[in-house]
Amino acid sequence: MSATMTDAPPTAPTATDPSAPRLASPRRDLSWTAAPLVGLLGLAGFWVFPDDLGLMTRIAAAALYVLSLDLVLGYCGIATLGQAAMFGTGAYAAGIAAVHLVNDPLILLAIGGVAGGAIALATGALILHARGLTLLMLTIAVTQIVQEVANKARDWTGGSDGLSGIDPAPVFGLFRFDMVGRTSYLFALAVLVVGMLVARRIVRSPFGLACRGVKEDPVRVAALGGSPRAYLVTMYAVAGMFAGVAGALTAVSSGIVGLDSVSFSWSAEALVMLVLGGTGRLYGAVIGTVAFMAAHHILAATDPFHWMAFIGLFLMGVVLFLPGGIAAGLERLRDRLTGTRNGSAPGGRA
């Protein structure tokens, strides 16, 4: 009776792993197109849905947040339900700085990133020795403690009333944050695209490859003289910076930070969106976020009272009919269309 969930390192839902097989495959690697494509589609959205910029801003910021979770889950195999701790810390740090110190949006993003990275580094070093359910619980506990701190420090954070009065200066001193949300949206979209490009560089760097190595086989990395835990903690901190920037972006674009930004449910939502889109691809995070939040929005608008049932069915449908998430489904479709056939075709289960 030794086998429990805690034994094996958590793995992605399918063998559609982007790492080694993809690089070795004869197919042309098109993953560099993801960030420009998101930028282009985002710009198209700006013209097509000019009345929904508020929602689309939230989606862009959330996508960056989910992307940060992909860095730890998809590339390091760390299953966490505590990503909101970094997101919220970044949001509060940026918010407090905006109220008391500076109001340049770019500096606020930097502050959020540093704060998110710092809390991730501190807590990651503390808890990343654990695995599986234990790690999940530790990340949840960290988030709850951060939320309690935010709740108790009312003088700084506004407690449960929320931290309001964030009034960022125009971007580059030129573009004012308007009510319709044009500036907010374009700003958020730009940050997301830059975030995707940076994330891609990171996961393809020697450091990123080492992290994947840790995910696949920590023993081998250790044998080669690397410290698996050091890699994990570093990536956790890097992802924390991304989450912190996403939090700061939300604070800047909405002008308010609430306790919900450090909540368990926000952590869980990130996980849901990432798994929905597909892990270990970066763009899967964006697809999942867009799919989940758009579905949520449309369903909640059509039926504000019972949308939960439909979104539940949607999630179940994806698990049953699109194993590996939406991105894996799209890849299978592309492979079928282009007639690519190779041994490591994504979607097949190992």
Partner 1 sequence: MTTTLRKALLGAVFATALGAGAADAATIKVGVIAPFSGPFAMFGQTFKEGIAVYQAVHGKTVGADTVEFVFKDLDQANPAQSKALAQELIVKEKVSFLAGFAFTPDAMAVAPLIDEANIPAVIFNAATSAITEKSPRFVRSSFTLWQNTVPLANHVAKLGVKKAITAVSDYGPGIDGEAAFKATFEKAGGAVVDTIRMPLKSTDFAPFMQRIKDSGAEAVYAFLPAGPTTLAFAKAFADNGLKEKGIQFFGPGDITQEPDLPALGDAVLGMTTSFHYSQAHESAANKSFLAKYKELFGSSDNATFTSVGAYDGVHLIYTMLAKTGGKSDGLKAVEAVKGLSWESPRGPVTIDPDSRHIRQTIYLRTVERVNGKLQNTEKDAFPAQPDFGYKLGK
Partner 2 sequence: METLFGIAVDGVAYGMILFIISVGLSVTLGLMRVVNLAHGAFAMVGGYVASYAAQSFGLPYAGALVVAVLLTVLATLPLESLLYRRIYGHANELSQVLLTIGLTFVIVASVNYLFGPSLKRIPLPELLQGTVALGPKSIPTHRAFVIVAGAVTLLGLWWLLERTDFGIRLRAAVDDPAMAAALGIRTERLYMATFALGTGLAALGGVLGAELLPLEPYYAIRYIVLFLAVVAVGGAGSVFGSAAAALALGITDTAGKYLIPNFGEFFFYAALILILFRWPQGFFKGKTA
Least separation in angstroms between CB 224 and partner 1: 45
Close Cβ partners of 191 (under 8 Å, ≥ 6 residues apart) = 60, 61, 64, 109, 245, 249
Q: What would the x/- binding string for partner 1 be over residues 16 to 55, using CB under 8 A?
A: -----------------------------------xxxxx
Task: Give me the phi and psi of 343, to 5 degrees please.
Answer: -60, -30
**3-state class (DSSP) for residue 171:** strand
Q: Find which of partner 1, partner 2, none residue 258 binds, CB within 5 to 8 Å per kind.
A: partner 1
Distance CA 155, CA 53 (A): 32
Q: Residues 14, 16, 57, 183: which binds partner 1 (CB under 8 A)? A: 57
Q: Smallest distance, Å, CB 55 to partner 1?
A: 6
Q: Select from partner 2, partner 1, none the partner in contact with residue 159, using the beta carbon and a kind-dependent cut-off of 5 to 8 Å.
A: partner 1
Q: Which of 173, 206, 225, 304 binds partner 1 (CB under 8 A)?
A: 304
What is the nearest approach in angstroms of partner 2 to the Cβ of residue 17?
A: 12
Please, which of residues 169-188 interact with partner 1 by CB under 8 A?
A: 179-181
Using alpha carbons, select from 76, 87, 143, 145 the residue that is nearest to residue 112: 87
Nearer to partner 1, 131 or 297 (CB): 297
Q: Is 300 in the site for partner 1 (CB under 8 A)?
A: yes
User: The dihedral of CA 213, 214, 219, 223: what is its sign?
Assistant: positive
Query: Which partner in partner 1, partner 2, none is near 337 (CB below 5 to 8 A by kind)?
Result: none
Least distance to partner 2, CB of residue 137, Å: 4
Q: Are 238 and 78 in contact (CB under 8 A)?
A: no
DSSP string of 36-92, one letter each residue? HHHHHHHHHHHHH-TT-HHHHHHHHHHHHHHHHHHHHHHHH----S-HHHHHHHHHH
Q: How many Cβ atoms are within 10 Å of 222's Cβ, its own excluded? A: 13
The answer to the question of residue 322 lying near partner 1 (CB under 8 A) is: no
* Shortest distance in whole angstroms from residue 177 CB to partner 1: 10
d(CA 83, CA 289): 15
* Residue 311 or 322 having the CB closest to partner 1: 311
Length of the chain equals 350
- The correct pick among 20, 222, 308, 333 for binding partner 1 (CB under 8 A) is 308
The candidate with the shortest Cα–Cα distance to 210, out of 195, 237, 230, 238, is 230
Q: Which stretch binds partner 1 (CB under 8 A): 198-206, 237-245, 249-257, 270-278?
A: 249-257
Among 145, 161, 222, 316, binds partner 1 (CB under 8 A): 161
Binding at 334: pick from partner 1, partner 2, none (beta carbon under 5-8 Å per type)? none
Closest CA to 191 of 244, 237, 240: 244
Residues that bind partner 1 (CB under 8 A): 51-55, 57-58, 148, 151, 154-155, 158-162, 164, 167, 179-181, 250, 254-261, 265, 300-301, 304-308
